[in-house]
Structure 1
Amino acid sequence: MHRVLIIGATSAIAEATARLFAEDGDRLFLVARRKARLKAAADDLAVRGAEIAGCEVLDVNELDRHRAVLEQAEQALGGIDLALVAHGTLPDQQLCQASARLTVQEIQTNAVSTVALLTRLSELMERKGSGRIAVVTSVAADRGRQSNYVYGAAKAAVDTFLEGLRQRLYKAGVGVTTIRPGFVDTPMTAGFDKGLLWSQPDTVARRIHHAILKGADVVYVPSFWRWIMLAIRLMPRRVFKALKL
Structure 2
Amino acid sequence: MPSQGKSLLVIGGTSDIAKATALTFAKEGWNVTISGRELPATRAEAANLELRIPGSTITAVVLDILDTASFMPLLDSLPVLPDAVLLAVGLLGEQTLAERRTDHAELIMRSNFEGPCLLLGLIASRFEDRGSGTIIGISSVAGDRGRASNYVYGAAKAGLTAFLSGLRNRLAAKGVHVLTVKPGFVRTRMTAGMKLPATLTAEPQELGEAIYSGVQKRRNVIYVRPTWWLVMTIIRSIPESLFKKLRL
Q: What is the TM-score when the length of structure 2 is the normalising length?
A: 0.93
- The residue that corresponds to 1:140 in the other structure is 142
1:172 and 2:174 are equivalent in the alignment: yes
* Alignment-mate amino acid for residue 122 of structure 2: R
The Cα RMSD (Å) is 1.3
Which residue in 2 is equivalent to 1:10?
Answer: 14
Aligned-partner SS, 1:132: strand
Could you tell me whether the CA contact under 8 Å between 1:31 and 1:56 is conserved in 2? yes
Q: CA deviation at 1:28?
A: 1.0
Give the Å deviation of 1:51.
4.4
The 8 Å contact of residues 26 and 50 in structure 1, kept in 2 or not, is answered as no
* Partner residue of 2:216 out of 188, 213, 221: 213
Q: Among residues 115, 118, 124, which one is paired with 1:113 in the alignment?
A: 115
Instruction: Indicate which of 191, 194, 213 corresponds to 2:193.
Output: 191
- Consecutive unaligned residues of structure 2, counting only runs of 5 or more, are none
Following the alignment from structure 2 to structure 1, what is the Cα–Cα distance between the partners of residues 230 and 216?
23
- Deviation, structure 1 residue 244: 0.5
SS of match in other structure, 1:4: strand
Q: Which residue of 2 aligns with 1:155?
A: 157
Which residue of the partner structure matches residue 202 of structure 1?
205
Shift of 1:41: 2.1
Distance 2:172 2:159 in 1: 20
Equivalent residues of 1:22, 1:49 under 8 A apart: no
CA distance in 2, matches of 1:101, 1:43: 35
1:207-227 CA deviation, whole Å, 9 max, x = no partner? 111112221110011121111
Among all aligned residue pairs of Structure 1 and Structure 2, give the percentage whose two residues are the same amino acid: 37
The separation in 1 between residues aligned to 2:73 and 2:217, in whole angstroms, is 30
> Could you tell me how far apart the structure 2 residues matched to 1:238 and 1:138 are?
24
CA distances 1:38-89 after superposition (whole Å, capped 9, x unpaired):
112211333314643221111111101011112223x1xx331111011011
Return the letter of the residue paired with 1:11: S
Moved more, 200-209 or 128-137: 200-209
Q: Which runs of 5+ in 1 are unaligned?
A: none
Tell me the secondary structure at the aligned position of residue 54 of structure 1.
strand
Aligned residues: 242
Which of 59, 64, 73 pairs up with 1:68?
73
Structure 1 letter corresponding to 2:77: Q
- Contact 1:176/1:217 (8 A) holds in 2: yes
Task: Give the Å deviation of 1:125.
Answer: 0.4
CA distance in 2, matches of 1:34, 1:202: 24
> Which stretch has the larger CA shift, 163-172 or 33-42?
33-42
Please give the per-residue CA displacement for 1:156-187, whole angstroms capped at 9, x wherever unaligned.
Answer: 00111111111111121101000011011111
Question: Are residue 101 (structure 1) and residue 106 (structure 2) matched?
Answer: no
Counterpart in 1 of 2:233? 230
For the residues of structure 1 that align with 2:87 and 2:216, how far apart are their CA atoms? 15
| Equivalent AA in structure 2 for residue 3 of structure 1 | S
Does 1:92 find its partner at 2:63?
no
TM-aligned CA deviation for residue 109 of structure 1: 1.1
CA distance in 2, matches of 1:50, 1:154: 38
Tell me the amino acid that sits aligned with residue 14 of structure 2: T
Structure 1 residues 103 and 50 mapped into 2: Cα distance closer, same or farther (>3 Å)? farther
CA deviations on 1:109-164 (whole Å, 9 max, x unpaired) are 11000111111111110111011100000000000000000000000001111111
**Mapped pair 1:244 → 2:243:** no
Q: TM-score, normalised by structure 1?
A: 0.95
2:49 equivalent to 1:45: yes
